[in-house]
Amino acid sequence: MSRRKSNQLPNNLPQLQNVIKRDPLSYKDEFLQQYRHYQSNLAIFKINPLLSNQVFEDLAMFLSQVSHCYTNELEKFPQEIIDILTSHYMVMNPDVRMTLCRSLILLRNKGLLSPTSLLELFFLLFRCNDKLLRKTLYTHIVKDIRNINAKHKNNKVNSTLQNFMYTILNDSHALAAKKSLDVMIELYQKNIWRDVKTVNVISTACFSHITKISVTALKFLLEKNQNDDSESESEDDKPTEKQLLLANRVRKKTRKSEAKLKIALKNMNKQKKKHSKCTTFSALYLINDPQGFCERLFKKLGNSTERFEVRVLMMNVLACLIGVHQLFLFSFYPFLQKYLQPHQKEVTSMLTFYAQACHELVPSEIVEPGLKAIVNNFVTERNSNEVIAVGINAVKEVCIRCPLVMTEQLLRDLAAYKKSKNKSVFNASRSLIQQFRLLNPSLLHEKDRGKMTVQERNVRPNEYGEMSSKNYVPGAELLDENEQINEYDVESSEDECSDIFQNKCDDNIVQEECGENTIDNEEKESKAARISQSKIFTNDDFKKMEVQKIIQEVNPHKKRKHENIEETTERKELLHVEDIEQIISKKKRSDKDERVASVKAGRDGVKRSFQKNRCNEYTSTTNKEKKKNKTFMMVKHKVKGKTKKSFREKQIALRDSLLKKKRKTKF
């Protein structure tokens, strides 16, 4: 009787692999036999690497599975596979190449290979024209580097791999360079290699002559971390601390509600601490030499023959870098000025780039030609209302960043559009007027300034190069001068925040009713200066300031005062296209065909008739239904109806009826 095929050792490699993992010493002879078999097949493979060899593939995977059981015997096995792939990776059979790569991945997972030697080989294999292989290697590289830095940052390995990737990015082979760039971007977005060196290595790819690589690097510099976006989206759905405290203040006080509030505040503080560890800014802030980077990129933009979309990306990166780092690139403004035309493609993006590149360190003489071009090309009567609104919004964003560029005559001309009947133009003009009430109200007409205090009327923007400094900590006036530093700890507000909030709000209400809380701005500044000069602020003090700000915002009895000028005029470092568009489109009146189509679309396909509500649908029709099919001449006399009698006719009829009754009574 023949033995079963599943029990044929050592030829059945899966079964032999299973028993070796259980008892390596007992099956060492069988292992050595298969190892010699592998060596003979390896010699055959080296003669002709083009051929497919299924036996060689099975033996390589078998040895990788049991390599941890015979480390001494298989000491040279990993290096043999690395040498084979390094020498013949371009001419090998795809199946054999994939099997050997999976074998190396298995050896790396068992800790029998160093990460640097293997990852350098895998970056080299990105040159292969094998999409499945590149996807497999990409996934392994990201996971392996993430596992290396799971417990703590391995700076030695990271530095070696980053230096190697820098050389790969300059490789002439497009596939290898693109995949290496994708790996670095993926590691940055997963907070694994989120450091300055990674950003600067990626930024060098912006100057690549390969369009795909340069576009990928430019988009990376413009986007925020995906994890941060997902976190912000999830935070939008949850109530804020201010909302929780206000809800607890106006509802009925119970032990259960107080306990829920404490738990919610505790969880919210935990989330804040967790999110504070992550950086929420763009990679633009981490570039080492932004001025040199901008000059090189602008030179490439001037000589570029790429399609328009790629050049728009370059302009976007340049504008963001200039605005964020407040750089000097004066030739960039006249370059953008030629694109500031209403018929220009992506014109709103061009206006955004121009406003983004403006900042207070740029002389007004440099920005003024572009501002005049916007006004002359957009804010004119020959253009549509949407174009005028976009132009005024662009002027407003430019003036927020460079207020000295606006003149009195130009501002009053733009303010006259507040009388427009179009809502978009009206809102844009009113927004510009409101902005200059805070920036420089003296440029506005007297009737446009509104009700303002003497201090607010005397507000002036800083001259070019002038810096404003304060001798106090902003928000220090919210603290009590006689209060000890550690009177109550805001750290314990997880348990007592609702009580503190309730008491403080009640105190503020009483003070406002008694007229004790009406403090002038000068008094606030003097109080803040006294407190700032008399103590050293701790973290608890800053947390108390935040609690007091929340109390003031939530207080329903407090009248809304003029907003702080510094908060309302603070410029956004990164401007968006939506800030300039802000167009309120009026709904176009539909014509007859559109109304008929809308009516037909609302029907459910059922024919309406008088038969619908009948018990028997085969009964005869009524006179009312028959009248629907008759001609007008047949029903003309019935359509006319009865005519009403006049008052005189009613008098005569009443007289006749009374006389008739009288005659009947005589007989």
pLDDT digits (tens, 9 = 90+) for 353-404: 999 999 888 998 999 999 999 999 999 888 888 899 999 999 999 999 888 8
Distance of CA 503 to the CA centre of its chain: 39
Q: What pLDDT shows up at residue 373?
A: 93
Task: Between 495 and 37, name the one with better pLDDT.
Answer: 37
Give tens-digit pLDDT for 474-520: 778 777 776 644 443 534 444 444 454 445 444 444 344 444 444 45
The per-residue pLDDT for range 582-610, each reduced to its tens digit, is 766 566 667 788 888 888 777 766 555 55
Q: How confident is the model at residue 4 (pLDDT cuts 50, 70, 90)?
A: very low
Q: Is the pLDDT of residue 237 over 80?
A: no
Highest mean pLDDT: which of 432-436, 572-576, 593-597, 612-616? 432-436
CA gap 208, 218 in Å, rounded: 11
Residue with tokens 């740029």: 362
Spatial CA neighbour of 204 closest among 191, 215, 214, 192: 214
| CA 98, chain centre distance (Å) | 38
The region of weakest confidence among 24-28, 134-138, 589-593 is 589-593
Across residues 56-66, what is the average pLDDT?
89
Out of 286-295, 364-373, 377-386, 536-545, pick the least confident: 536-545
- 131-145, 260-274, 478-492 — which is least confidently predicted? 478-492
Q: What is the overall mean pLDDT for the chain?
A: 79
CB 300 within 8 A of CB 337: no
Domains and CATH numbers, the chain: 9-206 (1.25.10), 289-457 (1.25.10.10), 495-556 (no CATH)
Residues 6+ positions from 377 with CB-CB distance below 8 Å: 340, 341, 342, 391
pLDDT for res 495: 44
Q: Please state, for a pLDDT cut of 90, what percent of the chain lies above it.
A: 16
pLDDT of residue 215: 92
Amino acid at 43: A
The least confident of 26-30, 34-38, 507-511, 624-628 is 507-511
Average pLDDT over residues 18-46: 88
Question: What are the φ/ψ torsions at residue 587 (nearest 5 degrees)?
Answer: -70, 125
Query: Which pLDDT band holds residue 655 (cuts at 50, 70, 90)?
Result: very high
Considering only CA atoms, which of 95, 313, 90 is closest in space to residue 213?
Answer: 313
CB 449 within 8 A of CB 461: no
For residue 224, what pLDDT is reported? Answer: 67
Mean pLDDT (whole number) for 642-664: 87
Residue 404 CA to residue 460 CA, distance in Å, equals 10
Query: pTM of this prediction?
Result: 0.68
**What local confidence, expressed as pLDDT, does residue 570 receive?**
52
pLDDT at 272: 66
Eight-state DSSP code of residue 615: S
Please name which of 565, 567, 252 lies closest in space to residue 436, comparing C-alpha atoms. 565
* Whether the Cβ atoms of residue 494 and residue 266 lie closer than 8 Å to each other: yes
pLDDT computed for residue 273 by the predictor? 59
Percent of the chain with pLDDT over 70: 79
Decide if pLDDT at 302 tops 70: yes
Mean pLDDT of 601-624: 67
**What phi-psi label fits residue 607: left (phi over 0), alpha (psi between -120 and 50 degrees) or beta?**
beta
User: Can you tell me the distance from the alpha carbon of 498 to that of 501, in angstroms, rounded to the nearest whole number?
Assistant: 5
Mind listing the pLDDT tens digit for each residue in 400-443? Answer: 988 888 888 998 999 898 888 888 888 888 989 888 888 888 88
The confidence band for 117, taking pLDDT boundaries of 50, 70 and 90, is confident
Mean pLDDT throughout 106-115? 87
Lowest pLDDT segment from 185-194, 313-322, 576-585, 649-658? 576-585
Peptide bond into 474 cis (omega under 30): no
pLDDT band at 228 (very low <50, low <70, confident <90, very high): very low
Reply yes or no on whether the pLDDT at 292 is more than 90: yes
Q: What is the mean pLDDT of residues 618-638?
A: 80
Say yes or no to pLDDT of 218 above 80: yes
